[in-house]
Amino acid sequence: MRWTDVREIAIALAEAHPGVAPLAVRFTDLHRWVRELPGFADDPGKSNEKVLEAIQMAWLDEVED
């Protein structure tokens, strides 16, 4: 996975952190959680607030479905 795999990351986060409200997660924690996902292999420095927000919104969509 790479930072651009927003939907795949969101699904993995929903599975790894069940019961967590995505909007309650700080970006610093979200950044760390994404980096810790199995299969994630991208440069940590390529992330930014826009990417993290997209991941957070996709994760929210995932848990609301």
Q: Would you list the domain boundaries of the chain?
A: 6-64
Q: Does domain 6-64 have CATH number 1.10.10.600?
A: yes
DSSP 22-41: GGGS-HHHHHHHHHHSTT--
Q: Along the 65 residues of the chain, how does pLDDT read in single tens digits? A: 999 999 999 999 999 999 999 999 999 999 999 999 999 999 999 999 999 999 999 999 999 97
d(CA 24, CA 2) in angstroms, rounded, equals: 23
pTM of the model: 0.94
